[in-house]
Chains A and B, each alone.
Chain A
Amino acid sequence: GAVVSQHPSWVICKSGTSVKIECRSLDFQATTMFWYRQFPKQSLMLMATSNEGSKATYEQGVEKDKFLINHASLTLSTLTVTSAHPEDSSFYICSARGVMKGRSGEQYFGPGTRLTVT
């Protein structure tokens, strides 16, 4: 149980285009979803936290107009990188946290999306 999928697993796009990444909790309801980015050989950096039906909370330094997050249902959150530039190239990972007896704080991670902007 507690499976999170992410799509696409990798994407190459041209500078100036927008890219949408989907994150789904497959077998549980995710009250909260998180978006991270990870550069090579570095740790995960939290970008934003989203709760179903409300606006995402962005971390300091993350441009909310550039990284649009939508959490329209308890099983789906999307991250749209708008007007992507080469410096946005990174590994983007989502995670989901649901309401589970005794483990309500546990996060489950998607497999990640590798974005390359040319």
Chain B
Amino acid sequence: GIQVEQSPPDLILQEGANSTLRCNFSDSVNNLQWFHQNPWGQLINLFYIPSGTKQNGRLSATTVATERYSLLYISSSQTTDSGVYFCAVDSSASKIIFGSGTRLSIRP
């Protein structure tokens, strides 16, 4: 089945720093989403981005489907950005596969 790898697994930054999170997938996908899981476990939709580039405030994402990767950019990090970031892909079999996540810690 399709493999989804996220890097880095852990990231510790000072408030105000920028970061780039990466998601690689091993096969073509129909859809790709980025989520932020907050400390209470709620998954918050960040981007629905099967291809192209989108921006929402300090966050932006780019998916290059032909090269099988997606990037999530966080600029001017805030402590509230802390948590786990997941990418999830929907393969041709319509199964949703999650990456292992990137645990982001923003220090004040």
Contact surface of A with B, Cβ cutoff 8 Å:
2, 34, 36, 38, 41-46, 49, 91, 93, 95, 103, 105-109, 111-112, 114
Contact = CB atoms under 8 A, between A and B. Distances in A.
Contacts of B50: 105
B97 interface: yes
Given A105-B50, A106-B31, A43 B100 contact: yes
Contact of A112 (B42, B48, B99): B42
A107 B99 CA distance: 15
Nearest to B95: A46
B88 interface: yes
Given A103-B48, A105-B50, A44 B41 contact: no
Interface residues of B, number: 23
Contacts, number: 51
Contact of B41 (A34, A42, A95, A111): A111
Given A43-B86, A43-B101, A108 B96 contact: no
Give the secondary structure class of A's interface: strand
Most B CB contacts (10 A, CB to CB) among A34, A36, A45, A105 go to A105
Contacts of B45: 2, 106-109
A114 B31 CA distance: 28
Nearest to B99: A43
A8 B98 CA distance: 24
B86 A44 contact: yes
